[in-house]
């Protein structure tokens, strides 16, 4: 009796420690505990709950170095795909206003864009999604904890609230889905103090003004593209190549169009320091690695887009033996998303060798839950995953790049069909279509199976999504040639591809 009295008296006072009777009994409180409330984690948790399992989700957003924070839903909802696509749409509308005059619309001049109004509308929509995710969890009886989780032992998570209150949670199985956060080049003086990242851009209340975007990733080019499109003086600083990992011919066309669109590029340049002037502007110094010269300019905003790092620091993975890649910091998983600890799994951007894409994280999370609780054995297939870069002229692709196809099969064993085309919408508007281009990479022998499809032009994501099904199903070049196109569309040009790179013939489409 005395022992029971001592336990009851001691527990509440231990730094806000909260344990349930079930946890104390030695039986795990939850069947599944998901650390991370982003796309993959939420999908896994909700799917597991459908099988009648007791599920909890832990999610906590560490504010960015500039103090930006957001709600439930992860990177995609709050500081990624959703606000990015909406701001990209704002920029496309600006271009449409210019086109409209050629189509007979009288547009009052000058036309101005209001950043604050756009940002508020985008942020309001994002907040509605945050609320929607919380409602969905409640409806599916998934317990949500707004705490920062870390491993105490292989089945126990220590959760810490913003106010320092501690919660101990135990689970039979644990899924890590904490995603990644933008990197800062800490070796550059002033980078952390004065720069922002994509974690901050979408939540700025005032216009970023004249902006320098450092990096050549898709995040960098997408953000620079819509900033240019809404009328801001925007410069991209590139150390080496654009869109590393993507087809480089397509990447070059994307940046060429951006330059013609008004985005400035500083190529082969690396920043060395950022200083704040009395005017509050940022004086950036950089080195041109080709010429060796030092150059400088002043900007209102400097945004770093130099890569992302897995968000693992607070997890205490080493304490439970979860292995990570020493170079990338990402969690090593097998084909079933299992880590080096049998009952601990990981999905999404935090996993080594997986595409950093929302739809793959969602699919992987759902399939994992089905294998754990639904007697399924289906694994996530990461081959032929389509994606799109939402630059001013969009780039969509599925399958292998031309370089990767050559590397895998040899240049003599692949055939590349290609075409430069002009969207009908560009004709009356007299818009330049020099970079509107598509190519299909096929095996040369036998049935000419399609290895990759690449498309630059309007609505690239919508175009590639449909063709992705065919390529996933093993479509061949002859099959595609039997497909009747929808006229007049950009996508129909894919069904008419007939000129090969090998032939050396002009690949410009003529006629309608």
Q: What CATH number is given to the structural domain containing 191?
A: 3.50.50.60
Angle at the Cα of 54 (from 165 to 169), degrees rounded to 5? 25
Does residue 6 lie within any of the structural domains? no
Exposed (0-12), middle (13-18) or buried (19+): which is 95, by Cβ within 10 Å? middle
Helix H, strand E, coil C: the string for 375-443 is: CCCCCCCCCCCCEEECCCCCEEEEECCHHHHHHHHCHHHEEEEEEECCCHHHHHHCCCCCCCEEEEEEE
Does residue 466 lie within any of the structural domains? yes
Could you list the residues known to form a binding site for FAD, using ranges: 85, 149, 349
Clarify whether residues 281 and 318 are in a common domain. no
Known catalytic residue at 487:
yes
Domain boundary among 306, 329, 359: 306
Bond from prior residue into 465 cis (ω within 30 degrees of 0):
no
Helix pair 358-373, 39-49: axis angle to 10 deg: 30
**Residue ranges of the chain whose pLDDT lies below 50:** 1-23
Does residue 5 lie within any of the structural domains? no
Q: What is the pLDDT of residue 479?
A: 97
Structural domains in the chain (count): 3
422 neighbors 435 (Cβ within 8 angstroms): no
The H or E element containing residue 317 is none
Clarify whether residues 175 and 37 are in a common domain. yes
216 CB-near residues (< 8 Å, 6+ apart): 236, 238, 239, 240, 241, 242, 243, 244, 255
Q: What is the pLDDT of residue 511?
A: 76
Bond from prior residue into 110 cis (ω within 30 degrees of 0):
yes
Does residue 397 lie within any of the structural domains? yes
213 neighbors 238 (Cβ within 8 angstroms): no
Domain boundary among 254, 285, 306: 306
Domain boundary among 306, 323, 342: 306
Domain that holds residue 289: 183-306
pTM, full prediction? 0.94
Q: What is the pLDDT of residue 25?
A: 56
Clarify whether residues 190 and 296 are in a common domain. yes
501 neighbors 418 (Cβ within 8 angstroms): yes
Q: What is the pLDDT of residue 182?
A: 98
Q: C-alpha distances in angstroms, 266 versus 218, 240, 289, 306, 398? A: 16, 10, 11, 15, 29
Alpha-helical regions (H) of 213-272: 218-229, 248-261
Clarify whether residues 197 and 241 are in a common domain. yes
278 CB-near residues (< 8 Å, 6+ apart): none
Does residue 512 lie within any of the structural domains? no
Q: Looking at 109, 112, 187, 487, which residue is catalytic?
A: 487
Clarify whether residues 154 and 79 are in a common domain. yes
Does residue 342 lie within any of the structural domains? yes
Clarify whether residues 202 and 171 are in a common domain. no
Comparing CA positions, the residue from 374, 245, 390, 381 lying closest to residue 307 is 245
Q: Where are the beta strands (DSSP E) in 6-86?
A: 30-35, 55-58
Clarify whether residues 176 and 39 are in a common domain. yes
Clarify whether residues 316 and 172 are in a common domain. yes
Helix pair 218-229, 248-261: axis angle to 10 deg: 20
Clarify whether residues 190 and 125 are in a common domain. no
Clarify whether residues 81 and 102 are in a common domain. yes
Q: What is the pLDDT of residue 24?
A: 53
DSSP bridge pairs for 440: 417, 453
- Report the alpha-carbon distance of residue 230 to residue 94 in Å, rounded: 6
Does residue 370 lie within any of the structural domains? yes
Comparing CA positions, the residue from 380, 334, 371 lying closest to residue 53 is 371
DSSP bridge pairs for 251: none
Does residue 39 lie within any of the structural domains? yes
- Report the alpha-carbon distance of residue 135 to residue 70 in Å, rounded: 17
Domain CATH for 416 = 3.30.390.30
The H or E element containing residue 145 is strand 143-145
Clarify whether residues 328 and 261 are in a common domain. no
Q: What is the pLDDT of residue 4?
A: 34
- Report the alpha-carbon distance of residue 312 to residue 322 in Å, rounded: 11
439 neighbors 248 (Cβ within 8 angstroms): no
Clarify whether residues 269 and 398 are in a common domain. no
């Amino acid at each position: 009796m005395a022992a029971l009295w001592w336990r009851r008296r001691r527990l509440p006072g231990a730094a806000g420690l909260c344990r349930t009777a079930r946890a104390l009994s030695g039986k795990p409180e939850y069947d599944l505990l998901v650390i991370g409330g982003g796309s993959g984690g939420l999908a896994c948790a909700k799917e597991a709950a459908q099988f009648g399992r007791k599920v909890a989700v832990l999610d906590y957003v560490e504010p960015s170095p500039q103090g930006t924070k957001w709600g439930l839903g992860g990177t995609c909802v709050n500081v990624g795909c959703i606000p990015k696509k909406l701001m990209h749409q704002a920029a496309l509308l600006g271009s449409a206003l210019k086109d409209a005059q050629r189509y007979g619309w009288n547009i009052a001049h000058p036309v101005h864009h209001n950043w604050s109004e756009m940002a508020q509308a985008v942020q309001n929509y994002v907040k509605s999604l945050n609320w929607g995710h919380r409602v969905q969890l409640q409806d599916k009886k998934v317990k949500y904890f707004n705490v920062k989780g870390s491993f105490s032992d292989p089945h126990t998570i220590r959760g810490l609230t913003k106010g320092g209150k501690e919660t101990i949670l135990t689970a039979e199985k644990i899924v890590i889905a904490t995603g990644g956060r933008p990197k800062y080049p800490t070796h550059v003086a002033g980078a952390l103090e004065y720069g922002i990242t994509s974690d901050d851009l979408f939540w700025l209340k005032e216009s970023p003004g004249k902006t320098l975007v450092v990096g050549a990733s898709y995040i960098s080019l997408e953000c620079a593209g819509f900033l240019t499109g809404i009328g801001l003086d925007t410069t991209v600083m590139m150390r080496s190549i654009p869109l590393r990992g993507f087809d480089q011919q397509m990447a070059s066309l994307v940046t060429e169009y951006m330059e013609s669109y008004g985005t400035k590029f500083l190529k082969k340049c690396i920043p060395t320091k950022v200083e704040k002037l009395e005017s509050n502007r940022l004086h950036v110094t950089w080195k041109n690695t080709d010429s060796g010269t030092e150059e400088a300019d002043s900007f209102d905003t400097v945004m770093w887009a130099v890569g992302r790092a897995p968000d693992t620091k607070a997890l205490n993975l080493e304490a439970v033996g979860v292995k990570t890649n020493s170079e990338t910091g990402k969690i090593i998983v097998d084909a079933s998303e299992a880590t080096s600890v049998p009952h601990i799994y990981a999905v999404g951007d935090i996993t080594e060798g997986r595409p950093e894409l929302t739809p793959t994280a969602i699919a992987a999370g759902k399939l994992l839950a089905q294998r754990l609780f639904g007697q399924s054995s289906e694994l996530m297939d990461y081959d032929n995953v389509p994606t799109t870069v939402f630059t001013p002229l969009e780039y969509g692709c599925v399958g292998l790049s031309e370089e990767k196809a050559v590397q895998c099969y040899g240049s003599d064993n692949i055939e590349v069909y290609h075409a430069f085309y002009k969207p009908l919408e560009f004709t009356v508007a007299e818009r330049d279509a020099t970079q509107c281009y598509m190519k299909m990479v096929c095996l040369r022998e036998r049935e000419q199976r399609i290895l990759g499809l690449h498309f630059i032009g309007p609505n690239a994501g919508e175009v590639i999504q449909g063709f992705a099904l065919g390529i996933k199903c093993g479509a061949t070049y002859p099959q595609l040639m039997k497909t009747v196109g929808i006229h007049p569309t950009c996508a129909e040009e894919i069904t008419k591809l007939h000129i090969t790179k090998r032939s050396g013939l002009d690949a410009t489409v003529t006629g309608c």
